[in-house]
Amino acid sequence: MTEVADVVVVGGGIAGLITARELGRDGVGVTVLEARDRLGGRVWTDRRLGRDLEMGGTWLHWVQPHVWAEVTRYGLAVTRAPRPEEAYWLAGDEVRRGTLDGFMELIDPGMRRLLSETMRWIPRPDAPVSAPGLESVDGFSLQDRLSGLDLSVEEYSANEAAWVGHFNAPLEDGAFTSALRWTAATAGSWHLMHEASAVFRLAAGTRSLVEAIAGDTDADIRTRTEVRRIEHDSAGAVLTTTAGDRIRARRVVLTLPQNLIGELDVDPGLCAEKRAASKEKTASKGVKVWIRVRGPIEPFFAYSSAAHPLSVARTEFVGDDDAVLVSFGADARRISPHDADAVRAALRVWRDDLDVLEVTGHDWMADPYSRETWLMHRPHQLTRYLTAQQRPEGVLHFAGSDYADIWAGFIDGAVESGLRVAREIRTGLGTAH
Ligand SMILES: Cc1cc2nc3c(=O)[nH]c(=O)nc-3n(C[C@H](O)[C@H](O)[C@H](O)COP(=O)(O)OP(=O)(O)OC[C@H]3O[C@@H](n4cnc5c(N)ncnc54)[C@H](O)[C@@H]3O)c2cc1C
């Protein structure tokens, strides 16, 4: 027997939950089908190493308008890690030790030159492909542009490591325009961009955001329900789950990440641009590792370079007897978040006085329901695909942070996209008021 629903949302991450909440307010019956046994998707607060740790998305900021509205709406408390005074970085084979402010001064000239034309190319981050001639710049990788600055070895590796932290990818894979988009979202200030992407987090974890949104909708939310196939025509769509259940819907919202969406069996098939982007994959393919070390230690920040398995590390929790560091590397294949020996060796590039007790993380690249970390485009993907990725196809609509305008790849982008798609559907179903 085939069930019937007004709207089916595929995916119970932030984008899917926001879409469901918004449509529910208009009286639209929504069913959310989530493949995993939990909601949240790429945000996931889990109890590990004796603390509530974020396996995925973590930091947010008041310059991120959509997610901050959620923080305000639900009264969620925001906190930050202790500010690191000490910083480590590399100059060739030598380790330099200084202050975080000293490191910021070191990278400032490179950052300014790299990003000097931000507002020329992305004058309106809410309309990221509107600048005439953007295609010409979209062909550059970040590596192309960084190498062209002729920085000293020390400045180069410091800038490179900072960007590997942002891109979660080798810089030759990442589009220069992605760096411009992030910076345009903070009106050209790289300092603010840096703060927006890596400092403040929810005190009770992203779990508190997921629970607040899910608890604020009457949608029929089903976990452990993977969608395998979608057949659609102008009258509606029929979804088939892996278990063989069928649901007919007037509208469907797909929230699958870019790397996955092309693998879904959709008939008639998705447009060429959506499929091509999915096949090419995002640039991001890195790793996030949580590391518990013996304490007490002073809060610190460390940057190496793209050549190292871990390019960035810093203290996120500092206790009396231990501390927990968060670290990122450009390529998940080069280091496992579960390999304590490899992590120990990677940290030694900066300091050999850290006693690594335990490590953990989640391999998002191997996860069948994400296959990516956070969206960073490859060269050309912004101008070739974004507009088509956002475009509805008949009764199918597309939400997801990967397809957002302003903070694409962030939790904010997931919220933005859910609001956009709910509006599209509301208009189409004639429920607008
Ligand atoms: C390691 C890491 C660190 C990050 N750090 C930050 C950060 O600090 N700040 C920030 O703002 N963002 C960060 N992000 C990005 C942020 O988490 C994501 O952009 C955002 O959560 C994506 O939400 P979404 O709803 O668009 O997609 P997703 O969360 O990926 O949701 C898609 C959902 O669809 C489900 N699904 C997939 N296939 C199927 C199927 N066939 N049937 C049914 N369900 C399916 C998935 O299980 C998932 O729940 C990070 C991400 C990662 C991985």
pLDDT on residue 420:
98
Phi/psi region, residue 116 (left: phi>0; alpha: psi -120 to 50; beta: rest), is alpha
Relative to the CA of 372, which ligand 1 atom is closest? 53
Residues near 322 by beta carbon (within 8 Å), at least 6 away in sequence: 50, 292, 293, 294, 295, 357
- Joined tokens for residue 250: 């007037």
Going by alpha carbons, the residue nearest to atom 26 of ligand 1 is 400
Averaged over 28-32, what is the pLDDT?
Answer: 97
Q: Is the pLDDT confidence value at 321 over 60?
A: yes
Q: What angle do CA 197, 203, 206 make, to 5 degrees?
A: 65
Atom of ligand 1 nearest to the CA of 370: 30
What is 2-43+206-280+375-429's CATH topology?
FAD/NAD(P)-binding domain (3.50.50)
For ligand 1, pick from 374, 390, 398, 417 the residue to mutate: most ligand atoms within 8 Å of CB.
374
CA–CA dist 319, 289 (Å, integer): 18
Mutation probe of ligand 1 site: the residue of 22, 37, 42 with most atoms within 8 A of C-beta:
42
pLDDT at position 240 over 90: yes
Q: Is 384 a residue whose pLDDT tops 70?
A: yes
Distance 409 CA to ligand 1 centre (A): 9
Return d(Cα 89, Cα 300) in angstroms, integer.
Answer: 11
Q: Ligand 1 centre and the CA of 338: distance in Å?
A: 21
Alpha-carbon gap, residue 43 to 208, rounded angstroms: 11
At residue 431, does pLDDT exceed 80? no
| DSSP code for 70 | H
CA–centroid distance, 430 to ligand 1, in Å, is: 30
Q: Report the pocket of ligand 1 as residue ranges, CB < 6 Å.
A: 10-16, 33-36, 41-43, 56-60, 226-227, 255-257, 260, 288, 364, 369-370, 373-374, 400-401, 409-412, 414
Q: Which atom of ligand 1 is nearest to the CA of 264?
A: 41
User: Which atom of ligand 1 sits closest to the CA of residue 375?
Assistant: 19
Alpha-carbon distance 410 to 355, whole Å? 33
- As given in the structure block, the two tokens for residue 73 are 């709406």
Q: What are phi and psi of 122, to 5 degrees?
A: -125, 70
Atom of ligand 1 nearest to the CA of 255: 32
Q: At what angle do helices 100-114 and 190-198 cross, to 10 degrees?
A: 120
Q: Measured in angstroms, how far is the CA atom of residue 58 from the centroid of ligand 1?
A: 11
Note the pLDDT tens digit of each residue in 159-175.
Answer: 999 999 999 999 999 99
Mean pLDDT across the chain, nearest whole number? 97
Confidence of residue 102 (pLDDT cuts 50, 70, 90): very high
Residues 172-199 have pLDDT tens digits of 999 999 999 999 999 999 999 999 999 9
Nearest residue (by CA) to ligand 1, atom 52, is 56
In the predicted structure, residue 433 carries a pLDDT above the cut 70: no
Whose CA is closest to 60, among 208, 196, 210, 194? 196
Query: How confident is residue 2, by pLDDT bands cut at 50, 70 and 90?
Result: confident
Token pair for 85: 């005074």
Q: In this prediction, what percent of the chain has a pLDDT beyond 70?
A: 99
The residue whose C-alpha atom lies closest to atom 17 belonging to ligand 1 is 57
pLDDT in tens, 33-54: 999 999 999 999 999 999 999 9
* pLDDT for residue 348 is more than 70: yes
Q: Can you tell me the distance from the alpha carbon of 402 to that of 407, in angstroms, rounded to the nearest whole number?
A: 9
Residue 211 has pLDDT above 80, yes or no: yes
Tens-digit pLDDT profile for residues 283-306: 999 999 999 999 999 999 999 988
Each residue of 120-153: pLDDT tens digit? 999 999 999 999 999 999 999 999 999 999 999 9
Question: Residues near 115 by Cβ (< 8 Å), separated by ≥ 6?
Answer: 179, 180, 183, 188, 190
Percent of the chain with pLDDT over 90: 96
What 8-state DSSP symbol labels residue 315?
Answer: E
- Across the chain, which distance is largest between two alpha carbons, in Å? 68
- Which residues contact residue 176 at a Cβ distance below 8 angstroms, ignoring those fewer than 6 apart? 137, 138, 140, 141, 142, 144, 145, 379
